[in-house]
Amino acid sequence: MTLSLGPLLPVLILDDVESARSLAEALRDGGISQAEVTLRTPAALDALRVMASVGDLTVGAGTVLTCEQADASVEAGASFLVSPGWDPALAAYAGELGVPLIPGVATPSEALAARAAGCSQLKVFPISTLGGVAFIDALAAVFPDVTFVPSGGIRPEHAREYLSCPSVETICGSWMAPRALVAAGDFAAVTAASRAAVEAIA
**From the CB of residue 102, how many other CB atoms can be counted at a distance below 10 Å?**
30
**From the CB of residue 73, how many other CB atoms can be counted at a distance below 10 Å?**
29
Question: Any catalytic annotation for residue 36?
Answer: yes
- Is residue 2 classed as helix, strand or coil in its secondary structure? coil
DSSP state of 84: S
Q: From CA 122, how far away is CA 172, in angstroms rounded?
A: 12
Q: From CA 27, how far away is CA 34, in angstroms rounded?
A: 8
Q: Which of 123, 157, 161, 199 is catalytic?
A: 123
**From the CB of residue 109, how many other CB atoms can be counted at a distance below 10 Å?**
10
Question: Any catalytic annotation for residue 169?
Answer: no
Long-range contacts of 103-111 (CB under 8 A, 24+ apart): 104/151, 106/130, 108/139, 108/142, 110/85, 110/86, 111/139, 111/143, 111/146
Q: Which of 18, 25, 36, 157 is catalytic?
A: 36
Q: From CA 195, how far away is CA 201, in angstroms rounded?
A: 10
**Catalytic residues, which ones?**
36, 123
